[in-house]
Structure formats: structure tokens, C-alpha cells
Amino acid sequence: MVMALDAIETTCVYCGCGCGIYLHVDNNRVNAVTPSLKPPARGRLCAKGWLLPDFVGHPDRLREPMMRKGDRYVQTSWSEALSFIAKSLAEIKRDSGPDALAVLTSAKATNEENYLLMKLGRAALGTNNIDNVARLCHAPTLFALGASLGSGSMTNPIESLLHSDVIMIIGSNTTEQHPAVALHIMEARRNGAKIIVVDPRRTQIAEIADLHLQIRPGTDIALLNAILNIVIREGMIDEDFIRSRTDGFDAVRDRIAEYTPEAAERICGVPAERIHDAAVMYGSAGTAAIVYAMGITQHAHGTDNVQAIANLALATGNLGRDGAGIYPLRGHHNVQGACDMGALPDYYTGYQRVSEFREKFEAAWNVELPESHGRTAVEIMGSAGSEIRGMYISGENPALSYPNGSRIRKALESLDLLVVADIFPTETTRMADVVLPIASFAEKYGTVTSTERKVQLIRKAIDPPGSALPEWIVAAKLLEIFGIPAGYDSSADVMREIAALTPSYGGITHERLERGGIHWPCPTETHPGTPVLYRDGFPRGRALFRHVDQRRCEKEMFTLIIGRSQYHFHTGSMTRRVCILEREVPEAFVDINPEDAAALGIRNGTGVILESGSGTIRARARLSDSVNSGTLFMPFHFRESPANMLTGWQLDPHSKVPALKITSVSIRREGA
Ligand code: SF4
């Protein structure tokens, strides 16, 4: 029986909801997890949250630094590993220049770790080739909401959904991927809120929706523009809000007229009457929220998709109030924080542009900083082995998670130096020259920032295995080797430096966070934080409408939607080591409509071959009418069936997010 005294309060480190949890510890082991009563957990956790202890104490954890010697890895000391890394990075910098180096930080690491790795890249290595996994998920959010509203982040806290009259969910399998958000949506529904779901799949949340618009994949803009057109035509806009707080509405109104519900039906396949019903439901609501995830962003037109959402919220005045707002749901627990910490090629912390704030950071760090334009994550991979020769990857597994997997693997293999820091061996650590064992969330102090901009503490509950270290210590040691004074005694010291340089984090300290999480912006130590953005105005003065058009839809063989299973997380390096989660979904599956399956001679459980211009993989078919004819769905967590082998290299031109969400494939029975 675990006693309450053994409970360490901390934060779940799977999805971006940021549920508060208690780790129950005995004899340097995490034995159990229980939920916090504070929002957003409010006494509840999902399956992944309850099973957190299974990965923390797993015997596969990396324990000691390893260096490649020929075909095998040999254990080494931290001092030898770090000296080798620093020497190799310095040699590449000397021979090929600083932009031959790159740092990919981690949305699974703390804010302090992301900050110091960003500082390592810029101040020590001299490059802006710094990015994080947000490039693969919410870069369009950063770009579109940043340009339109002034901040590329969630406008309201999760709890604010309880005040919504209507919640529109687009491209989000909310119950499976953001369960804490889904529980709030269901509670809002019990209180009378109407739910609209826009999704090509009939997901769990679509089943409880008042309206499910089952669109053709990739046609969101046609649908959203038609909804906005109806809202304008039928007088459901908020004229005061538009006049007093926005620019650009007239141009959008004039151009959107061609998006009639009938024209949209021809593109997106949703009957015109249902589009009309959705427009009236959203447009006539007193307070309406829009919730979206990677079904919207991971497209070659992801930025335009997000802008179409912003146009709708602005036209109806659904911003700056409880219950209204735009909710981009982050997948990893610290995607928001990694971006806030400036792990981006064009921004320092708090979205201070490199082009405008270089001198400020040069003065603070007492070093000359690079002016050159940094590469994004996918561009870094595209240059690996040619312009890029050395790379430090923190806690990510691009061999499985990036588009066009076979090209990524070749790129990583061709580097002169690949350093990977992680808690488990992965497909990417197996290609590294040096593997660094990192402390998990249960073994270190620090902060993470959830999808609702809430900065929260993670607290050390146990010691790490072997000689594994918190990564902020690793980054600080490397900074010292490169002659950049670090001198941090704790991660709290790192946060003090972040706060001094970052207006939106200016009032955030570990000491304050001991009393509970704080929503940024929080500019001073007496500021309470800002749960709801834009109550009194927009940071850019007036918010901006921008018209976006639906791009032409190609005729596909099959459109494969790539997503996630509720029982696994990202590339499965943690959840596939949790036996209950692995028991539930032990292998990849491809959902195929029964009509298509019958035509191809495919039965439930048949092995199938999927082929695209980028690669070929095998998986097992699952007959399901959750997808329409012509559409397939599969999760990407499984190394045996790596779905991202099928995706190409197409990027959104604004945010450079790769089109990971849908790809065109053929499917056939194995052996046919
Ligand atoms: Fe963790 Fe997300 Fe589940 Fe909450 S909803 S317990 S943050 S995985």
C-alpha cells in the first residue's frame, strides 16, 4: 500500500494536455501514478497516463554513454563522450563552417533543456540550424495564427471549453489523442453544448457529435470557406468585432462568395444542407470554439487550413472570451515549450525574431551570434551528408517519424558525426556515433509548457538509471567545453536566465510554479498569468483576415491518412515497452472500407502491401466503415510497418511542415 507521503506531484509527459499527476515511489522505483484533482486532469487520466511507471523502470533504459567503434558500441565515460563530441563538432565547424552543424531539440525535453540546447547551437556552434519536432506538426499554427492574431498558440485554457455553446472539432481524433480535452468536450455536451466534427474518419468523437461532416481528405478549406460564406450571407458575423478589431475582412468577403455550399459539396463530398447546418450551428452560437490537431496542419497547405479557421473565428467574434477561441492541440507534452524556448531557426525565446533581437542575445550571452538563415528540420535532413555534416539530436526518432523514411535513414547514415541523446535505444540511436543516456521526466527537475500555454513543474521522484543525466546538465557541460560560461547550479537557475530574456516568461520562476502552473504571457513576478488571450486586443494591434483558396485535389489511387492509435505514443519507443498498451495494439493495421476490401479480395486480418512513390511497406488490413471508399487509415508508431516510408518530401511553403497526414498509395493483398 503506497502512502500519501510517497507521492511526488509532477506532470504527465505523453500528450500536450499536461495532466497533473502524482508518482508514488518506493525504494527508488515509481510504483504507481494517480491523477491530480487540478485542471485539466481533474481526477482522471487516460490509459497512457496510468501506465507511466512501466516505461520509467523498463530494463531497456539507456544507462551509460556509448560510442561506436567499428560495427559495435562500447561503453564510455561522460567526459570521454563529451570531449569527443566537442572535438568532432569543432573540427566540422573549422573545416566546413558553422552551418555544417545542426541541433534538433526535443518536445519531450524540458524548457530548460530546450533553452540550453538552443543556446549551444547558436552561441557555441554558431548556427541557426536549430529546430524541433513542432516542424512536423504545428509549424502551420505558429505561422498562421502568429501572422493573423499575433501568437501561434492556443487562445483559451482547456477548461474554457465548459463555457462553449458550440465546439467545432476539425482534424482531431480527440478522444484517442487528447483524452483530457475530449473529457471536457463531453462534459460541455452534457451541459448542452453542440458538437460539430469534421473528419474523413468516423472517430469516437464523431459518433457522439451532433453533426459529423465526413469530408474527403485534404478538402478542409473548401468546407471552411463555404461555412464562412454562409455565415456572412446570412448575417451571422460580429460586425462590431470585425470593425473595431480586425483588418482585411472586405477582401475575404468578396472572394469567398464563390464557395457556395453546392460548390463545396463537389469538392469535399459533404452534402450542401449539412454544410449549411454546420454554418448555422457555429455562426449563431453565443460562444463557439474550434479545436483542431494534425489532421489540419500536416498538409502541404497546412498554413492555409489554419488561416481558414482563424478567418471563421474572427468573423464571428469568437476570440478573447471564455468559451470562445481556437484550440490547436499539441501532440507531445512540450511542443509548445520547445518553440517558446527558441528551438526554431528564425526565433530566439518567446518568438523574438533572430533578425530583430540578435544584439540583445549577443549582449546577454557575451558572444557573437549567427545572422545567417537557419534551416528547418526537414531542410536539415535534406542537406544531411552534403552541406550538413554533424548533428545533435535530442530525444527524437526521425528515422521513424520523419517523411520519406528511407531517404532520412540514408541522410543520417551519411553524416560525419551523429550524436543522439535519449532514454531508450531507437531506430535513430542505432545510427549514432555517440549515444547519450538521458534522465526521464521522473528523474529530474524542470518545467514543461502544455498545449494551453501553462508552464508547469516536473519534479524529481527517483534517481536515473546508471549514469544517465538530465539533458540540461549535458548541454551546460558542452557549453563550458566550448568556452561559454554556464555556471548553472540547478534547472531553476536556467529558468531565471530564460525569464530575464523572454518577456512572456518574465514572471515565471520555479518558486512560483511550486504553487501551481502559470499560463504565459506572464511578464512580471506579480502578474497572475493569462489563461485567455486577446481579451483587450491583439499583440499586432488588429487581427488580420487573409483569404485562402482550396488547392486542386489530385485524383488519387487511395488516399492514406496517417495518424495515431490511442494506445501508443509517437514512434512507440516508450509505449511499445508497456505490455498492456502493446497487448491492445501490437502491430500496425490499415483501415479499409469493406466495399474496397471486397473488390480487392482483402479480408479482415489479410496481410497487405502499401506502395507509394517513396516506398513500400506491409501491414495487416482491418475492415472498417469508419473510412469512406477510396480512403485508408493507418498509425505510424510501428517500426515493422513504418508508415512514413510512404510519405514524400512535399512541404507547406510557409511553415515548411511536411505533408505527413495524407499520401497517395496503392494497396494489394500480400502475394497477389
Ligand atoms: Fe497524459 Fe495526455 Fe493522458 Fe493526460 S490525456 S494522462 S497528459 S497522455
Looking at residue 663, the DSSP 8-state letter turns out to be E
Q: ∠ CA(243), CA(198), CA(264), 5° rounding?
A: 70
Q: Looking at residue 81, what is its pLDDT?
A: 98
The finding on whether 45 has its CB within 6 A of some atom of ligand 1 is yes
- Candidates 10, 21, 22, 48: which one to mutate for ligand 1, based on the most atoms within 8 Å of Cβ? 48
| 3-state per-residue secondary structure call for 277-327 | HHHHHHHCCCCEEEEECHHHHCCCCHHHHHHHHHHHHHHCCCCCCCCCEEE
Q: Which of 12, 451, 581 to mutate to test the pocket of ligand 1 (most atoms within 8 A of CB)?
A: 12
Residues of the chain with pLDDT under 50: 1-4
pLDDT of residue 1: 41
Measuring from atom 3 of ligand 1, which residue has the nearest CA? 46
Nearest residue to 130 (alpha-carbon basis) of 300, 338, 298, 336: 338
The pLDDT value recorded for residue 228 is 98
pLDDT at position 568 is 84
Q: Which residues are CB-contacts of 482 (< 8 A; sequence separation ≥ 6)?
A: 86, 90, 120, 123, 124, 125
Q: How many CB atoms lie within 10 A of CB 564?
A: 18
Does residue 46 line the site of ligand 1, with CB under 6 A? yes
Q: How far is the CA of 569 from the centre of ligand 1 (A)?
A: 11
Q: What is the pTM of this model?
A: 0.90
Residue 181 Cα: closest atom of ligand 1: 5
pLDDT digits (tens, 9 = 90+) for 422-466: 999 999 999 999 999 999 999 999 999 999 999 999 999 999 999
Strands 130-131 and 101-104: what pairing? parallel
Strand partners, 590: 621
Rounded to 5 degrees, φ, ψ at 669 are -65, 140
| Nearest alpha carbon, ligand 1 atom 4 | 19
> What would you report as the CA-atom Rg of the chain, rounded to the nearest whole angstrom?
24
Interstrand relation of 589-592 and 454-458 (parallel, antiparallel or unpaired): unpaired
CA of 544 to the centre of ligand 1 (A): 34
Decide: 19 in ligand 1 pocket, CB within 6 A: yes
- For ligand 1, the distance from its centroid to the CA atom of residue 155, given in whole angstroms, is 20
